[in-house]
Structure 1
């Protein structure tokens, strides 16, 4: 493993070992797949991983005005993985869909007529997704692994690529960028990779969750403000949903096997739920009289931030759904 410009460069085996060691407090329930388009294969010379990642960060910060590089990981044509944004921070990748996501940018232009993906990169992409599914306890599906193409550019509504969409991760990405291509060509490869590990996801039950209510909150080794900041997870950030595994004296423990505590007074309790309706309208107010601004599909996960009667707010902004179509 190499380090430069605050990024780490790893092989798949190194990434697998690295992921086992890191603690991630933010609740992640989705992996996004993208392609960079530019840079593409013409810009990669086999050894300029760090330079290309640094250039992407500079573009995202200076041109887009973002706080950091948009993605958490970049996967290069030789199968090398380079880290980007902290896993504790939401990505800047799909409009209105980033809160609980982890973003992978696959370096190249994978539209038809663009780059032909190398076997090394294809194998690395599948391996990384499988490793992350295992890390976060995902059941791989088109809800937990998503393509950018499935969401509208202007409002982030999932419309399966039927208008106002980017082609990302490419019209030739593992056979295409449609949901049907994903289910036929991509998903079986991820499942097969997980089957090699005899993987069975553990679905969390009876967990408490809390949202961070300040810009950045220190994580401490004991439930006391005078104790050391944790070396496992130093900080958690505004809007992040944190799993609470224990409580003591108005402090929350946020790791099952490590001493990581946060002050409860800077959080707000939220509830996790699954959509039971085939299609559920998301409205911009707590009533059916308000406009439908998005839809959710059966099996998608949401968090309850606020409740008004039978209506549930599922984000920091005004996004409301009817409670009768949720299972907690």
Structure 2
């Protein structure tokens, strides 16, 4: 395990051990798969992991104007994994699809005329994906693991490929970048890595879900403002959805096993719901007359902020869906 430029380099075994110890307040619902395209294998010399990761961060912050590197993890041709953006922050990777997501950038160009993925990188991609599914109790399906190719570039509308989409994570990524390729080629390999260890999250002990409304919210060791800030947990960002396990005098305990508390004044209670129709349009206002922004699929989880005449707002910004197609 090495550290440089604020990044950490891990082997797959080290990654599995490390992720099991990390406390993440933000609710995770999706794992995004990408390829870097550029840089590709010709830019990797076997030892310049940190330099390539730093170059990507500089491009994202200077050229794109983002606050940090876009992805949470980069997986290199030799199977090494480099950390990137804090897990407490949503990625900057797929328009309108970044909330509650983890972004993986797989180093290389995996279109059919591009790089031939090494066995070490294949193995690492499968292990990291399986470990993340296990850590965050995600089902191995095409709602929880998504390819960038399935979403339009301009508005994030899910089309499962077609007009105005990237080929990302590559037309040759584990046999292809279509949903059917995921189902036939990628999904079975991830399931095999799990060895039947995936268990569904028990929400029976969750008292409520809340969304962080402050720009930054500290996590404290006790339910009061004078207690120490928990050092191993970064501050929580606006928009993060948290589970609440206990309430004391307006303070919320956000861990089922640790004494980790936040002040409830800087949160808003939300309700958890599941999409019950094949495709649900997200609009800019509470009526069909408002513009369609993108769509979400059957089985996806959303968090409801408010209701207006049978329509439900599913974000801090104006994102509305019809309540007829939600199951609470």
- TM-score (normalised: structure 1): 0.97
Deviation at residue 131 of structure 1 after TM alignment: 0.2
Q: Does 1:237 align with 2:237?
A: yes
Deviation at residue 203 of structure 1 after TM alignment: 4.9
Structure 2 CA distance for aligned equivalents of residues 203 and 132 of structure 1: 17
Deviation at residue 291 of structure 1 after TM alignment: 3.1
2:112 corresponds to which residue? 112
CA 1:205–1:327: 2 relative to 1, 3 Å: farther
Whether the 8 Å CA contact 2:61–2:69 is kept in 1: the answer is yes
Whether the 8 Å CA contact 2:96–2:294 is kept in 1: the answer is no
Whether the 8 Å CA contact 1:33–1:105 is kept in 2: the answer is yes
Deviation at residue 318 of structure 1 after TM alignment: 1.6
2:200 corresponds to which residue? 201
2:73 corresponds to which residue? 73
2:308 corresponds to which residue? 308
CA 1:187–1:316: 2 relative to 1, 3 Å: same
**What is the DSSP-based 3-state SS (H/G/I as helix, E as strand, rest coil) of the residue aligned with 1:247?**
strand
Q: Does 1:155 align with 2:160?
A: no
Q: Which moved more, 1:106-115 or 1:301-310?
A: 301-310
2:132 corresponds to which residue? 132
**What is the DSSP-based 3-state SS (H/G/I as helix, E as strand, rest coil) of the residue aligned with 2:228?**
coil
Whether the 8 Å CA contact 1:90–1:99 is kept in 2: the answer is yes
Matches within 5 A, 1:54-65: 54-65=54-65
Structure 2 CA distance for aligned equivalents of residues 275 and 293 of structure 1: 16
Deviation at residue 288 of structure 1 after TM alignment: 2.7
Structure 2 CA distance for aligned equivalents of residues 47 and 90 of structure 1: 29
1:10 corresponds to which residue? 10
Which digits, 9 at most, give the CA deviation of each residue in 1:222-258, with x for residues without a partner? 0100110002313101111111111110001111111
Deviation at residue 127 of structure 1 after TM alignment: 0.3
Which digits, 9 at most, give the CA deviation of each residue in 1:75-97, with x for residues without a partner? 00000000000000000000111
Deviation at residue 269 of structure 1 after TM alignment: 0.6
CA 1:192–1:34: 2 relative to 1, 3 Å: same
Q: Does 1:37 align with 2:33?
A: no
For structure 1, the residue ranges without an aligned partner over 5 or more in a row are none
Structure 1 CA distance for aligned equivalents of residues 168 and 60 of structure 2: 17
Whether the 8 Å CA contact 1:233–1:260 is kept in 2: the answer is no
1:46 corresponds to which residue? 46
2:90 corresponds to which residue? 90
CA 1:46–1:120: 2 relative to 1, 3 Å: same
How many equivalent pairs are there? 327
For structure 2, the residue ranges without an aligned partner over 5 or more in a row are none
Which digits, 9 at most, give the CA deviation of each residue in 1:124-172, with x for residues without a partner? 0000000000000011100000000000000011111121001100011
Whether the 8 Å CA contact 2:286–2:312 is kept in 1: the answer is yes
Deviation at residue 206 of structure 1 after TM alignment: 6.2
**What is the DSSP-based 3-state SS (H/G/I as helix, E as strand, rest coil) of the residue aligned with 1:27?**
coil
1:178 corresponds to which residue? 178
**What is the DSSP-based 3-state SS (H/G/I as helix, E as strand, rest coil) of the residue aligned with 2:211?**
strand
Whether the 8 Å CA contact 1:34–1:105 is kept in 2: the answer is yes
Whether the 8 Å CA contact 1:242–1:254 is kept in 2: the answer is yes
**What is the DSSP-based 3-state SS (H/G/I as helix, E as strand, rest coil) of the residue aligned with 2:23?**
coil
RMSD: 1.2
Runs of 4+ in 1 over 4 A off after TM superposition: none
Whether the 8 Å CA contact 1:75–1:105 is kept in 2: the answer is yes
Deviation at residue 28 of structure 1 after TM alignment: 0.7
Whether the 8 Å CA contact 2:72–2:103 is kept in 1: the answer is yes
Matches within 5 A, 1:169-318: 169-195=169-195, 198-205=197-204, 207=206, 208-318=208-318
- TM-score (normalised: structure 2): 0.97
Structure 2 CA distance for aligned equivalents of residues 162 and 59 of structure 1: 28
**What is the DSSP-based 3-state SS (H/G/I as helix, E as strand, rest coil) of the residue aligned with 2:243?**
strand
**What is the DSSP-based 3-state SS (H/G/I as helix, E as strand, rest coil) of the residue aligned with 2:315?**
coil
Structure 2 CA distance for aligned equivalents of residues 283 and 35 of structure 1: 30
